[in-house]
Amino acid sequence: MANIELPPRIENCLSGRQALFAVKVPRTHPLWSSLLVLLFAIFWNLFVVLIVASLDFPKDVISLSITNDITSDLLFSVVFAVIFAIIGVLLLLYAIKSLLEQGGYYIATPRELVFCSARRHHSIPWGQFTGEIRVSQKRGGDGDIELTLKSGSDLRHVGFVPDKIYLLDIPDVAEIAKVLRAQIQSA
């Protein structure tokens, strides 16, 4: 089973609790997910650029003062473009953040799954997991685990979308999955 030597700052996250296993993950989001958001953000921003380029802006300042119709149309176009540009920039920043974000340590204790990184620390009680565990194993026993939480977002057109936790590129994935299943079922 994957038990690794934890740095002292990560040991402090445990506060003396017993660790069933500890694994270090290189990233918190799957690469395909981050790349998909990045691709969508690029297309979104290209769409905004094309829309802004197709808008008919007055060529000189004098024509702005001729009628109120021109200024109200221009104001609507600018507000529309700015709102969509802000959304595009936020999507792009989120995609870049998820690509560059460092992983951390997942530590299983008898009562919860603890995540510790250089920037954050949080614990999820075993009762918050649905029991749905997706395991993908590669040669050599390494692999990925996707855990589904009971919490999530209720999207209007899609329905309920649960939150997920990804343990990526971990050793002994089958053994860790067994421990996770046992802890979730006993909660």
Q: What is the largest CA-CA distance in the chain?
A: 76
Mean pLDDT, rounded, of the chain: 83
CB 41: neighbour CB atoms within 10 A?
Answer: 20
pLDDT at residue 56 greater than cutoff 70: no
Is residue 72 over pLDDT 70?
no
Residue 147 token pair: 């855990």
In eight-state DSSP terms, residue 187 is: -
Q: Could you read off the pLDDT of 129-180 as tens digits, one per residue?
A: 998 999 998 887 788 999 999 888 888 888 888 889 899 888 888 889 999 9
What's the whole-model pTM score?
0.72
Element (H, E) at 84: helix 68-100
Q: What is the pLDDT of residues 90-142, one digit of tens each?
A: 999 999 988 888 888 888 888 899 888 877 888 899 999 998 999 998 887 78
Pairing relation of β-strands 104-108 and 129-137?
Answer: unpaired
In the prediction, which pLDDT does 99 show? 87
Q: Are 147 and 135 in contact (CB under 8 A)?
A: no
Decide if pLDDT at 54 tops 70: yes
